[in-house]
Each structure stands twice: as C-alpha cells, then as structure tokens.
C-alpha cells in the first residue's frame, strides 16, 4: 500500500495523484572531457540514479552496501523504517544539457526553447535552470528529502546541486478523487486543473508528432518560484481578494455562482454592467475558454524559506510546477498574458525559473533518458 510503481511507459510523478510534500533539486554536470567521455559519464550517472530511485520508490535502501563496513553506508539512512508514502522521483533535462559538452545538440527538441523574459519577473540565477532536475514527491517529507539527498551523494564527482526547494502542502490536485487544497492566499487551488487521463493525453504527454522521437510519452516541466506578498494580501478586503481570482474564497465557487466545480459564466454582468468575473481576474485570464482551449497540468506546492531579515516579512510563496506537451504554446502563451494583465501581479513576483524535458518512463531493465543517450 501507499507505493507508486516506478517503472512504466511514462514517468511517475506527473499524472500521479499529487502527494503532500515536495523536494525539488536541480543539478549541474561537472564533466570536462570530450563529448564521448562526458556522455559516458552521464550514462553512468543515470544508470546509478535509476537503480537508486527504483529502490527508494519501492521502499528499499539505496543498493550497493559494502557488507564489510569499510566504506560509507550506501544509503544515508534517515528514511530507514519509513514507508515510501507514495514516493515518486521524476527527472528532467534542461536546455543546457544540449550544449557542446555532450554532443547532443541535434537531439534537442524544438519545444525545449529557452523561456522568454516576462514582464515583472525578477529571476535569481541561483534559483533557476540547471542541467538536470529531480522532482521528488511523497506524503512523508523525510522520504522526499532523502531521495534528492541520496541522488546528490551518488552523483558526487559528476554533478553538483545548483539549487533546491522544499514544498509543503500541495497546492493543486491532479485527480478528481482529491479534495482541493489551498494556497497561501487562502484560496482553493487546482479546482479546474486537469483531472482525467484523456485530457492528460491531449495536453500533458508528448505524442507521435514530436520532432524528437526520444521524447515520445515524455513531458515538459516548467518550474517557477513565485514569491507571494502575503502580509499585503492579508490587509486586502475580502471582496477585492475574490475579484483577483474570480472566485469565492471560502467555497471556491466562481463569482457567477453555484458550487466549486460549476462552470464559470464569463459573460455574466453585474447590475452596473461590469463583468461579474473581472477582466483582470486570474481565472478569467487563465481559463481554457479564453485561451483557444489550452490547458496545463499544475502540480504546485506552497513553500517558505523563513523570513526576509530586512523587512521582517515571511519569505513565502508558490513553487509552481506545471507539465505540458509543448511549453511554447502552453505555459509561455498563458504566462505572457498573465504577466501583462493579471490582477494577482500586485501581490506576486516570479523569482526562480526552470524548464526541463522529462523523458518517457523506464522499463524493468532500462535507465532514465536511455532513449536520448
Ligand atoms: C487557476 C492561484 C500562478 C495558471 C487558479 C486558481 C487559483 C490560482 C486560486 C483558481 C482555482 C483553480 O482552478 O485551480 C494561483 C496563484 C499563483 C498562480 C496563487 C501564483 C502565486 C499561475 C501561473 C499560471 C497559472 C503562473 C500559468 C502560467 C492557472 C490556470 C488556472 C489557474 C490555467 C485554471 C483556470 C481555469 O480554467 O479556470 N490559480 N495561480 N496560475 N491558474 Fe493559477
């Protein structure tokens, strides 16, 4: 029970019912040989990581223990006795992996195009990008952390961790069986996320039409670390907060009425003629009805990094993760519009960013990224 199968045609951790906790890390390769040597090193790393991830998801320690005790333990040990608690470990490759170092430039998918600059963002290079990203999700925070820590350890000499983020309290649902959780603004988040397999096939997983066959059944991850000014938000009137999203705070229902899952009426007007769901409402701007049908799979987590010493405000926000088959027509198109018009912008700033090509899943004797290498 409470185990998610690691192997399969598609990686776990994308369509998987969203777990409560996140440990995310991005790593850079430190190799400095010829492209062939570097690719060999990458292949070795991915084989070792796949075996470790497979074991951890199955609730077993990282393999390779030296029985004589004359080497450091193969597994760091803090998750001994813990159940996997639905652990999934998902890998993605950043655009930088396709530079000169590995000779993989001709295998770079067109969809892995650098994200453009967006209005109002203030990105910190120290929490952005990376050659490889790992998303570890579990209902047990120790188990999620244990996964990224052990991969970092196994990769020592080949990779260094570039940045990482812990997330608590999922802020989306990926299944209609889950109750909608709340983000740090106190609103239900994930109400109109993708919750069914057919829509995931259409909008989340790469199909036969890809320019790079190795990405078939993979997906593209966009990560955005979004700081939220929660103190300013907490002073804002309830009606204004609701107008920012276009939804009622307590029930999650659209401002045009009904229950949480009822269809919003974007044409409805107030008695004074203004739209009931305001023109700058986050939901109106992001909804598929107003974006040529475009959808993304949101898999966000709340985060806090403690306090900002200079102001005494909480350093907190949303670690926004979303999966899609082509970021150019999905995340980028939506974010262009949101960054220009969203009423939410008064209260948020994007401070970190990453884009990663997540390869297909692994069979019993395969390793992550085998189709690429
Ligand atoms: C909907 C919060 C950033 C895309 C929502 C909803 C909330 C919310 C409360 C309504 C409930 C729901 O359907 O889930 C936030 C917060 C953000 C943020 C607090 C930043 C801190 C983003 C970003 C994107 C995005 C960066 C994509 C570029 C969407 C989409 C919907 C949505 C597609 C569904 C709209 C619909 O179909 O009704 N968000 N969001 N959000 N958000 Fe965000």
What pLDDT digit, counting tens, does each position of 220-276 carry?
999 999 999 999 999 999 999 999 999 999 999 999 999 999 999 999 999 999 999
CA distance 254 to 285: 14
Indicate the top mutation candidate among 123, 286, 294, 344 to test ligand 1's pocket, ranked by most ligand atoms within 8 A of CB. 286
Indicate the top mutation candidate among 121, 181, 189, 263 to test ligand 1's pocket, ranked by most ligand atoms within 8 A of CB. 189
Predicted local distance difference test score (pLDDT) of residue 148: 96
Cα(2) to ligand 1 centroid in Å equals: 29
What residue's CA is closest to ligand 1, atom 29? 286
Question: Average of pLDDT values for 303-329?
Answer: 95
CA distance 234 to 221: 31
Flag whether pLDDT at 307 surpasses 80: yes
Question: Average of pLDDT values for 202-225?
Answer: 97
Of all atoms in ligand 1, which is nearest to the CA of residue 228? 21
Cα(192) to ligand 1 centroid in Å equals: 9
Question: Average of pLDDT values for 195-211?
Answer: 96
Task: Quote the mean pLDDT of the chain.
Answer: 96
- CA–centroid distance for 300 within its chain: 6
Q: Are 165 and 319 in contact (CB under 8 A)?
A: yes
Predicted local distance difference test score (pLDDT) of residue 169: 87
Predicted local distance difference test score (pLDDT) of residue 49: 98
Please report, for the chain, the start and end positions of each structural domain, with discontinuous segments joined by +: 21-64+80-358
CA distance 149 to 98: 25
Residue 1's pLDDT band (cuts 50, 70, 90): low
pLDDT > 70: what percent of the chain? 100
Report the predicted TM-score, pTM, of the whole model to 2 decimal places.
Answer: 0.97
For the chain, the first-to-last Cα distance in angstroms comes to 34
Cα(154) to ligand 1 centroid in Å equals: 36
Pocket of ligand 1 (CB under 6 A): 183, 185, 187-193, 224, 226, 228, 245, 247, 282-283, 286-288, 296, 318, 320, 331, 334-335, 338, 348
Cα(266) to ligand 1 centroid in Å equals: 16
Question: Average of pLDDT values for 333-357?
Answer: 98
Residue 214's pLDDT band (cuts 50, 70, 90): very high
Of all atoms in ligand 1, which is nearest to the CA of residue 289? 37
Cα(63) to ligand 1 centroid in Å equals: 40
The 10s digit of each residue's pLDDT in 5-58 is 999 999 999 999 999 999 999 999 999 999 999 999 999 999 999 999 999 999
Question: Average of pLDDT values for 110-138?
Answer: 97
Cα(122) to ligand 1 centroid in Å equals: 19
The 10s digit of each residue's pLDDT in 68-97 is 888 889 999 988 988 999 999 999 999 999
ipTM exceeds 0.90, yes or no: yes
What residue's CA is closest to ligand 1, atom 26? 335
Flag whether pLDDT at 3 surpasses 80: yes
Question: Average of pLDDT values for 193-221?
Answer: 97
Contacts of 131 (CB under 8 A, 6+ apart): 26, 27, 28, 29, 93, 94, 96, 97, 159, 162
Cα(32) to ligand 1 centroid in Å equals: 41
Of all atoms in ligand 1, which is nearest to the CA of residue 322? 27
């Amino acid at each position: 029970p409470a185990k998610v199968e690691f192997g399969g045609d598609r990686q776990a951790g994308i369509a998987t019912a969203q777990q409560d906790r996140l440990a995310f890390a991005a790593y850079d390769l430190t190799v400095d040989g010829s492209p062939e040597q570097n690719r060999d090193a990458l292949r070795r790393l991915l084989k070792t990581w796949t075996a470790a991830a497979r074991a951890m998801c199955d609730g077993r320690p990282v393999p390779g223990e030296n029985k004589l005790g004359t080497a450091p333990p193969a597994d760091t040990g803090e998750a001994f006795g813990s159940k996997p608690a639905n652990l999934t470990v998902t890998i993605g490759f950043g655009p930088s992996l396709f530079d000169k170092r590995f000779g993989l430039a001709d295998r770079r998918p067109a969809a892995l195009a650098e994200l453009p600059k967006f209005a109002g963002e203030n990105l910190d290079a120290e929490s952005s990008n990376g050659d490889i990203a790992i998303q570890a999700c579990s209902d047990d925070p120790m188990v999620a952390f244990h996964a990224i820590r052990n991969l970092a350890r196994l990769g020592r000499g080949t990779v260094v961790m570039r940045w990482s983020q812990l997330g608590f309290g999922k802020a989306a649902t990926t299944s209609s069986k889950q109750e909608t959780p709340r983000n740090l603004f106190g609103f239900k988040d994930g109400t109109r996320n993708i919750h069914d397999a057919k829509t995931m096939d259409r909008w989340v997983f790469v199909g036969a039409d890809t320019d790079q066959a190795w990405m078939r059944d993979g997906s593209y991850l966009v990560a955005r670390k979004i700081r939220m000014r929660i103190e300013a938000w907490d002073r804002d009137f309830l009606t204004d907060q609701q107008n920012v999203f276009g939804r009622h705070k307590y029930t999650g229902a659209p401002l045009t009425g009904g229950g949480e899952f009822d269809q919003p009426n974007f044409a409805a007007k107030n008695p004074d003629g203004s739209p009931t769901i305001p023109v700058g409402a986050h939901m109106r701007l992001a909804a598929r009805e107003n974006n040529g049908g475009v959808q993304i799979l949101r898999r966000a987590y709340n985060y806090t990094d403690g306090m900002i010493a200079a102001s005494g405000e909480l350093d907190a926000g949303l670690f926004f993760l979303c999966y899609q088959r082509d970021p150019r027509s999905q995340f980028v198109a939506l974010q262009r519009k949101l960054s220009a018009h969203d009423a939410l912008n008064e209260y948020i700033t994007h401070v970190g960013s990453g884009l990663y090509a997540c390869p297909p899943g692994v069979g019993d004797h395969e390793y992550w990224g085998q189709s690429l290498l």
